[in-house]
Amino acid sequence: MSFVWTLAEQHEGRLKAVSYELLGRGRALADKLDTKLASLLIGDGVSDEQLQTLVHHGADEVYAIQDPRLASFTCETYSNVLVHLIKTYRPSVILAAATSTGRTLMPHVAVRSHAGLTADCTELDIEPGTGHLLQTRPAIGGNIMATIKTPDHRPQMATVRPKSSRPLPADPTRAGRVIEVPLDLVLVDERVQARGYRGDAVDFVNLEEADVVIAGGRGMKKAEHFALLQGLAKALGGAVGATRDAVDRGWIGYPHQVGLSGKTISPRLYVGAGISGAIQHLAGIKTSETIVSINSDPDASLHQVADFGIVGDLFQVLNELQRRLDERRRGGEEDRA
């Protein structure tokens, strides 16, 4: 029986949330194909208890390949491990997250396995009758949706946009097996050496995995005003994004840039303040669940794609919003007290 596989991701021994999103996707596919769902973890230091949570979120089997040499991602060794597992077990579908790791590893493995790979999918389904995986993704800056399949090659591989679906609720009664697979040392390629992270990695903005992104554009007028967005991001439990214009003016760093030449995000809530909504910016936010726009220009393009727009001065609106959120928080604290 050809399984559906999802690749779990870890950082410093902790499973990343996207691992569970993939399991939700994989579960639906495995059920339609009447096969089993396995989750693979390549990494180090992930506890048995955490591996069990992959079962709780939908996996029938969990394969954990753990070794200190796998602690940090290097493409060559991870690719050797995955190619070897594919040869041994012949899965029919492999899903990975469209993260920096997934988008590096999967094309490498696809070439070596002579498999088709579709990037950054937002919808997945099984074609009735043939059982082929239908992979749908935004292309040309989100202006079209292309559906792709791989009829003659196996495995069928896809990377999936983080946050584009929600994980299944955890079910601690679900049964499944966790299997530790030892790392075969011939698979270790030492040409590329990971040396850890640059010192300023603390509090690094992980926009792709944020549930809420508060983004600012040229309408923010100066760097200091981004503090307004930081405050709101804090109150709403999110991160701060920006347009290329704001980044190029030096108001905020490139890791915050959203759009064609920056990050593609799919948060539950995106709020854009002082952003016109140029096509290159929209390319990075179109699959957000809810879009809110604050812009004084009623004709701003961002207003056209927003679920809720306020035509107004962003400074007045954001300050009022912050005040009201603070009030609610204090109210909540008093309620609990």
Partner 1 sequence: MHIIVPIKQVPETSNVKMDPVTGTMIRAGVGTVVNPLDLFAIETAVRLKEAHGGRITTLTMGPRGADKALREAMAMGCDDGVLISDRAFAGSDSWATSYTLSQAIRKLGDFDLIVAGERATDGDTGQVGPGIAAWLDLPLATYVAAITRVEPARGLTVERLVEEGYQVVDLPFPALITVVKEVAAPRLPTLRGKKRAKAAEIPLFTAADLDLEPSYLGLKGSPTKVVKVATPKVTRGGTLVRALDEDAVADAVDQLLAFLDARDLLPTGGRA
Ligand X SMILES: Cc1cc2nc3c(=O)[nH]c(=O)nc-3n(C[C@H](O)[C@H](O)[C@H](O)COP(=O)(O)OP(=O)(O)OC[C@H]3O[C@@H](n4cnc5c(N)ncnc54)[C@H](O)[C@@H]3O)c2cc1C
Residue 279 has φ and ψ, to the nearest 5°, of: -55, -35
| DSSP secondary structure code for residue 252 in this structure | S
| DSSP secondary structure code for residue 263 in this structure | B
Angstrom distance (rounded) from CA 103 to CA 122:
14
User: Which of 71/168 has CB closer to partner 1?
Assistant: 71
Site for partner 1 in 27-56 (CB under 8 A): none
Size of the site for partner 1 (CB under 8 A): 103
- Give the count of beta carbons closer than 10 Å to the beta carbon of residue 200: 8
What residue 49 binds from partner 1, ligand X, none (CB within 5 to 8 A, per partner kind)? none
What residue 269 binds from ligand X, partner 1, none (CB within 5 to 8 A, per partner kind)? partner 1
Binding residue for partner 1 (CB under 8 A) from 87, 90, 166, 329?
Answer: 329
Site for partner 1 in 97-126 (CB under 8 A): 99-101, 103-112, 114-120
- 166 contacts partner 1 (rule: CB under 8 A): no
- 87 contacts partner 1 (rule: CB under 8 A): no
Complete edge-to-edge strand list for the sheet that includes strand 239-242: 239-242, 212-216, 269-273, 290-295
- 246 contacts partner 1 (rule: CB under 8 A): no
Question: What is the torsional sign of CA 252, 258, 259, 260?
Answer: positive
Q: Mask of contacts with partner 1, 307-326, x by CB under 8 A?
A: xxxxxxx--xx--xx--xx-
- 79 contacts partner 1 (rule: CB under 8 A): yes
- 155 cis-preceded (ω within 30 degrees of 0): yes
Residue 204 C-beta: closest distance to partner 1, Å: 4
What residue 275 binds from ligand X, partner 1, none (CB within 5 to 8 A, per partner kind)? ligand X
Query: Would you say 137 and 121 are in contact if contact means Cβ atoms under 8 Å apart?
Result: yes
Q: In this structure, what token pair is assigned to residue 92? A: 């029919």
Q: For residue 2, give Cα distances in angstroms to 92, 115, 116, 268, 303.
A: 5, 15, 17, 34, 46
What residue 108 binds from partner 1, ligand X, none (CB within 5 to 8 A, per partner kind)? partner 1
What residue 314 binds from ligand X, partner 1, none (CB within 5 to 8 A, per partner kind)? ligand X
Side chain identity at 195, as an amino acid letter?
A: R
User: Which of 24/312 has CB closer to partner 1?
Assistant: 312
- 298 contacts partner 1 (rule: CB under 8 A): yes
Residue 180 C-beta: closest distance to partner 1, Å: 25
Angstrom distance (rounded) from CA 192 to CA 302:
43
Strand partners, 293: 272, 309
Residue 237 has φ and ψ, to the nearest 5°, of: 70, 50
In 3D, which of 85, 80, 56 has the Cα closest to residue 70?
Answer: 80
What residue 107 binds from partner 1, ligand X, none (CB within 5 to 8 A, per partner kind)? partner 1
Side chain identity at 16, as an amino acid letter?
A: K
Query: By the criterion CB under 6 A, which residues form the site for ligand X?
Result: 217-219, 243-246, 257-262, 274-276, 278, 280-281, 284, 295-297, 300, 313-315
* Look-up of token digits 């946050």: 163
User: Which of 177/328 has CB closer to partner 1?
Assistant: 328
Binding residue for partner 1 (CB under 8 A) from 84, 209, 221, 230?
Answer: 209
Strand partners, 212: 269
- 181 contacts partner 1 (rule: CB under 8 A): no
Planar angle of CA 318, 319, 322, nearest 5 degrees: 85
- 130 contacts partner 1 (rule: CB under 8 A): no
Residue 273 C-beta: closest distance to partner 1, Å: 12
User: Which of 187/271 has CB closer to ligand X?
Assistant: 271
What residue 48 binds from partner 1, ligand X, none (CB within 5 to 8 A, per partner kind)? none
